[in-house]
Homo-oligomer: A and B are copies of this chain.
Amino acid sequence: MSADTPKPAAPKPAKPIEPAIKPTRAQDFPEWYQQVVRAGDLAENSEVRGCMVIKPWGCGLWEQMQQALDAMLKATGHQNAYFPLFIPLSYFEKEAAHVEGFAKECAVVTHHRLEVGPDGKMRPAPSAQLAEPLVVRPTSETIIGAAYARWVQSYRDLPILINQWANVVRWEMRPRLFLRTTEFLWQEGHTAHETEKEAQEETERMLGVYETFARDWLALPVFVGEKTESERFPGAVRTLCIEAMVQDRKAIQAGTSHYLGQNFAKASGIKFQSREGREEFAHTTSWGVTTRLIGTMVMAHADDDGLCLPPRVAPTQVVILPVAPKEDTRAAVFEAAEKLAAELRAQTWQGQPLRVHVDRRDIGGGTKSWEWIKKGCPVRIELGPRDLAQGTVAVCSRDQGARHKEFIPQADAVTGMPARLGAVQQGLYDRALAFRFEHTREIGTKEDFYAFFTAKNEKEIHGGFALAHWNGSPEVEAKIKEDLKVTIRCLPFTETTPGTCPFTGEPSPRRALWAKSY
């Protein structure tokens, strides 16, 4: 409410303020998440199980993320291309021969026509059965590999540095909006190189791009490291990843970058004549991030009143809410709101003009304001007739809580907006980092480790992230997963000190990052 809202006749006794999202994080985290996504108008479930409808606010968020990341991918020398949605079944057979344990939960196309059957109902036409079924791409290594095999003859054709923005499908039995959906959107980079060294550098470079993107755009502090063998992408020689902590202290894998060695090149036949005139297989990489990043941001930043979007990727950074309940002042307030919007749009932050929206809808001011709170718009400005007279506005920074409000001169609101957006961006990052710091422990004994992941506090939430030594044994890893549902999220690059494995007493080259995960 702005300064113009009629004051109540007499002060009422303070009543506890209800959060906008029910249940709260503390009451039921998974249900809170669903409600935040719904209330924030990001997405909803469709009638096709596991497939979501990404609504305009969620789609706008993805577009901002896509633009930023696309520019980073191009700046590192990559070009976009587009490959077929369908992959012949035989390609999977080729891959299966090279790759153990690749995912088989795929949508399979078997017919290419519909017809009305004898019962009067529509059905796939039996006469239009495909000789070879087609698989809706769960990832595109094989179909892209087939193209690279055509394109590469000589070392002069390398490297190939290509990225694709696409939809992919992996059948999900327990879908959850953004985090795990049957269809999702992503980018998948696929590169082919002359040498292992170049391919390894590419794998690490792209992980670095993801770390930067998560930190500077999404306000997500992430651990950066390498997966153990058991968590590696099937067929990869190395899988690198970024791992974020969310507010129930679990980990979310937010992006991966794989060095595939020559495995996929051999399966697809990507070979070239080397500088020495020998026939060699290319070294390939692949790397991707998905709409799961949206779910990660929600779980990391949202509060009990709804979303808190990082300003760098928010579709609207500043929303102006004209408050003009009375007919006679409405025109003046709306005009002032548009003028203010124009002034704000003339400001730039992070090299781009501010994204400003005036919400002119004819609905109640409270309802309108709460919609934008729940949508996590970084800054709201309320503007009413009294503000016009006084030259002030009410400015609300979302990271400061749903009820934060400052009355400041309008001119200051304009000139100070880039700095304010910067403060919101930094505020979200700092809060997430402090939270992660608070819930990450270096643990030296098995007893402490088990206690950390089993002792529950009043919120039924386990400890968080553990940094603990590990002797490298897959059996130890498997046992802990069985006992605690805790896995090694990665071997962080920052951990380099040798020590003793608390589970076996054996030497350990460095600490691993352990957590429960999505």
Contact = CB atoms under 8 A, between A and B. Distances in A.
Contacts of A62: 82
A380 to B, nearest CB: 20
A105 B112 contact: yes
Contacts of A125: 104
Nearest to A82: B54
A242 interface: no
B171 A113 contact: yes
A5 to B, nearest CB: 23
A107 B107 CA distance: 11
Contacts of A52: 84
Nearest to A79: B56
A85 B169 contact: yes
Which of A44, A87, A111, A363 has the largest number of chain B CB atoms within 10 A? A111
A343 interface: no
Interface string A32-60: 00000000000010111001111110111
A306 B116 CA distance: 46
A129 to B, nearest CB: 10
A114 interface: yes
A99 interface: no
Given A46-B143, A110-B111, A93 B81 contact: no
A450 interface: no
A133 B185 CA distance: 22
Contacts of A51: 84-86
B185 A53 contact: no
A378 to B, nearest CB: 19
Interface string A116-152: 1000011111000000011110000001001100100
Contact of A81 (B53, B89, B105, B116): B53
Contacts of A150: 44
A136 B44 CA distance: 20
Nearest to A144: B53
A388 interface: no
Interface string A378-414: 0000000000000000000000000000000000000
A92 interface: yes
A96 B122 contact: yes
Contacts of A134: 48, 107
B81 A48 contact: no
A108 interface: yes
A407 to B, nearest CB: 31
A162 B83 CA distance: 26
A115 B105 CA distance: 9
Contacts of A104: 113-115, 125
Nearest to A167: B85
A53 B80 contact: no
Interface of A: 44, 46-48, 51-56, 58-60, 62-63, 79-89, 92-93, 96, 104-116, 121-125, 133-136, 143, 146-147, 150, 156, 162, 166-167, 169, 171, 183, 185, 363
9 contacts: A48-B84, A51-B84, A51-B85, A53-B83, A54-B81, A58-B81, A89-B114, A89-B122, A112-B171
